[in-house]
Amino acid sequence: MNSDNTYEVPIGPIHPALKEPFLIKFKIDGERIVGAEAHPGMNHRGIEFMGMHRNPYKVIPLSERICGICSIVHQHMYVTAVEHAAGIEPTNRARYIRVIMAELERIHSHVLWAGVAAHEIGFDTHLHFTWMIREKVMDLLEYITGNRVNYAMWTFGGVNRDIPKRMYPKIEATLKYYEELYGKLEEIFLGDPSIRLRTIGVGVLTKEDALRLCGVGPTVRASGVRKDVRIDQPYAAYGDLDLEYQLPSLYGYGDTGDIFSKTLVRLKELVQSIDIIRQCLDQMPDESINSEPKMAATLNKLKKADGEGIGRIEAPRGEAFHYVRLKGGKEELDCWKVRASTYNNLATYAPMFMGEQIADIPIIAACIDPCIGCMDRAEIVDVNTGKRREYHHEELHRLSVKKTRDLLGGVER
């Protein structure tokens, strides 16, 4: 118990409300949350460090494994970043196939999230229902790529596997399945009175807070922020396609930023993804899927390449970012930095938790669709003792002042 009559309640690193290791420390006054502090760093695997000891081709399958379900997202960003650094252009057909795959994954991710959100507020039947319908899109991904997860679809200059005309009927059938089921999903998640009670007015993120804390993706679009990399800075084939920011105000709801509007935005994006895939199938040009059919030639080009590149894409959870630096004559990546969307959205936890009840913690924690495996990139490990620790702001400031003093002392001597 603190001096101001508040209690501190840690949730995590291992807790039923969280699907991945992560720690949030809450300050509780009675039943109300008066403070929340996020402590990431429990799921660090050193993937960037591993990547910097391999050549660019070896990192493609590694980047795929940063996240359990966004394997397409990280591959897409990494490949775009390297292509940017080395000046490789993918073919137009490959750009369209990349969009189709990315949108299929968005359907997959949003349906999965809806199930997790329902589970967090106690509707396990809805969890089973959404995970049942998610099987269809996983079957489709398996049909296109050959595997259910870790698709190994991306390569420099294009994609590994084509989507020929014979696959269109099955893709169309799956899209139709989701279109028919959408009404039911809307009825469950937007019409059900008990779900509305648990979601309307809970975990509110105001537009000001969303802009101030640099949140990304559906989390801030629900607050009315017009922010979507697919429209703001089109990549792959998104420049040719017709799409619109999905805001709750488009559908006659307020841009309130509560959990209800976040659910609404995700469900509407599901419909939008179906529309985008249809547009892609119509417009896809007939050409090669890779600009350089000889992989060995690209490998040599990458060895000589010198420069830095970025890959910025709209993941299902929001904008994510990869930075790659290549050095001429060096086979391995010179630098690789991953910034996943959860890293930004984590900051929005603080205003969302404020004033809510302890019982609302699981659903608010789930509402940004956190992916800790993607996010955890930095941790301080003491090499001599093997101990892990986190540095707080004051401590860092003290260390910084000490270093300045040490440096000044060195000059004086």
Partner 1 sequence: MPTTTIYTLIKQLFTKKATNPFPVKYAPSNMHGAAALIGSGKVRINPPVNIPKNFRGKMSYDKDSCIGCKLCLKVCPSEALAFKDDVKKVKHYVSRCTFCGQCADICPKDCFAFTDEFLMAGTDKYAEEMVIDP
Whole-number Å distance between alpha carbons of 293 and 289? 9
Work out whether 2 is an interface residue with partner 1 (CB under 8 A): no
- Residues 322 and 48 sit within 8 Å (Cβ to Cβ): no
Specify the residue, 145 or 219, whose C-beta has the smaller distance to partner 1. 145
DSSP string over 302-332:
HHH--EEEEEEEEETTEEEEEEEEE-TT--S
- Residues 102 and 87 sit within 8 Å (Cβ to Cβ): no
The 3-class secondary structure across 117-147, one letter per residue, is: HHHHCCCHHHHHHHHHHHHHHHHHHHHHHCC
Work out whether 182 is an interface residue with partner 1 (CB under 8 A): no
Question: Cα dihedral angle (250, 255, 258, 261), rounded to 10 degrees?
Answer: 0
Work out whether 142 is an interface residue with partner 1 (CB under 8 A): yes
Nearest approach, Cβ of 128 to partner 1 (angstroms)?
A: 10
Work out whether 301 is an interface residue with partner 1 (CB under 8 A): no
Nearest approach, Cβ of 148 to partner 1 (angstroms)?
A: 9
Nearest approach, Cβ of 110 to partner 1 (angstroms)?
A: 21
Work out whether 62 is an interface residue with partner 1 (CB under 8 A): yes
Specify the residue, 150 or 288, whose C-beta has the smaller distance to partner 1. 150
Work out whether 132 is an interface residue with partner 1 (CB under 8 A): yes
Whole-number Å distance between alpha carbons of 362 and 220? 19
Question: Using CB under 8 A, which of 7, 143, 168, 391 touches partner 1?
Answer: 143
Work out whether 296 is an interface residue with partner 1 (CB under 8 A): yes
Nearest approach, Cβ of 210 to partner 1 (angstroms)?
A: 35
> Residue 175: which of 254, 104, 111, 233 has the closest Cα?
104
Buried b or exposed e, range 242-262, using 16+ CB within 10 angstroms:
ebebbbbeeeebebbbbbbbb
Work out whether 57 is an interface residue with partner 1 (CB under 8 A): yes
Specify the residue, 55 or 206, whose C-beta has the smaller distance to partner 1. 55
Nearest approach, Cβ of 142 to partner 1 (angstroms)?
A: 5
Work out whether 161 is an interface residue with partner 1 (CB under 8 A): yes
Specify the residue, 24 or 47, whose C-beta has the smaller distance to partner 1. 47
**In which order are the strands placed within the sheet that holds 318-326?**
307-315, 318-326, 335-339
Work out whether 163 is an interface residue with partner 1 (CB under 8 A): no
Which residues make Cβ contacts (< 8 Å) with residue 93, sequence separation at least 6?
Answer: 158, 162, 284, 285, 286, 287, 288, 289
Specify the residue, 132 or 407, whose C-beta has the smaller distance to partner 1. 132
Work out whether 54 is an interface residue with partner 1 (CB under 8 A): yes
Residue found under tokens 């118990």: 1
Residue found under tokens 């509007």: 261
Work out whether 244 is an interface residue with partner 1 (CB under 8 A): no
Where along the sequence are the contacts to partner 1 (CB under 8 A)? 54-55, 57-62, 125, 132, 135, 142-143, 145-147, 150, 152, 155, 160-161, 295-296, 299
